[in-house]
Amino acid sequence: MKALMWRRPAGRLIVVAAIAACSPLDQDKVAARVNGEKILAEEVDLALQYKGVAKHDPTARQRLVEKLVIEELLAQQFLRGTPGSALVEKSAVSAARREILARSYIETLVGRVPRPTAEQMSAYYRDNPNMFARRRIFTLRQLDVSAAPSRHAELRRRVGGAESLDALADWLRRENIRFVRTDLERGSDELEGNLVAQLDGLKKAEVGVLDTSSGLRVIQLVRTRPAPIDEKTASPSIEQRLWREMRVAAVEAEVSRLSGMAAISIPEGAPRGAMQALVPDPDPPLARRITGVAPPSVKAPGG
């Protein structure tokens, strides 16, 4: 019998996970047992792969097995002492299975997307002059205002009549409207295209208002200066940016293809047609977890 054991100072948790009474074949398949429940070697391999660690790294493997043993102990205690835990367990297993398998498929899918060619990178440089050839640095002052929608119109009027951003901030304090003030400097390649277009419409020291998910953003343009980037200098960032966009596009295309062949219905509403294409939910999509890039805005099915 082999045992995996580690101890902590007196008064702390002492955990002993035994791999016992296993045949040689079982030894290859079972990483540990906790009160008779198996932790499979396949689980360890999958977790290591997801973390980007070689599965034959003994130190990383042992550390992960110890972590899984503690998790299993806590899970067993939850199941023993929590009413309705069986339903929670079933739902958790179902959700974890769906997410893990979907993520694994996306990783396989994006792994097949080739890096952009030199021609594609040159075209990207030419098609996005504000990011490169006509790149600028914007110095901004902004207030992120958490105001109720009923006060948005009033706030917009105040912005139009305010002597300065400081005067507007004073008014917000008097009205007990929460806001966060930020001074920042960003290149046009770091800003969303629609924001760059709006900033282009502002004069120096002029103030504009943008809608955000949590309220309104008041922006004052302090100054702007040119900071172009030539194609050779931009090539490494273009390659990474374009490759991410290509991988997101590949995921969206595959989801659309699969949903076009599937019969999909939403319990809260009317059944959707089998040909209605779906795209990943942007908050947060699996595509973003894998590639680091958010897909374009999403329309509701059938919308």
- The H-assigned helical ranges of the chain are 24-29, 41-51, 58-81, 85-111, 118-127, 152-161, 165-174, 193-200, 231-261, 286-291
Whole-model pTM: value is 0.55
Which residues make up the CATH 3.10.50 domain(s) of the chain? 136-226
Residue by residue, pLDDT tens for the chain (303 residues) are 344 443 333 333 334 333 333 333 355 588 899 998 888 888 888 888 777 777 678 888 889 899 989 988 988 888 888 888 778 878 888 887 887 788 888 888 888 999 999 999 999 999 999 889 999 999 999 999 988 888 888 988 888 877 788 889 999 999 999 999 999 999 988 887 677 877 887 888 888 887 776 678 888 889 999 999 999 999 999 999 899 989 989 988 998 888 888 877 766 644 444 333 333 333 333 333 333 333 333 333 333
- Residue 145 near residue 165, CB atoms below 8 Å: no
Pairing of strands 37-40, 30-34: antiparallel
Sheet order of strands, 2-6 included = 2-6, 15-19, 30-34, 37-40
The domain 136-226 is classified under which CATH number: 3.30.70, 3.10.50, 2.40.160, 3.40.720?
Answer: 3.10.50
Here the tokens at position 293 are: 């890039």
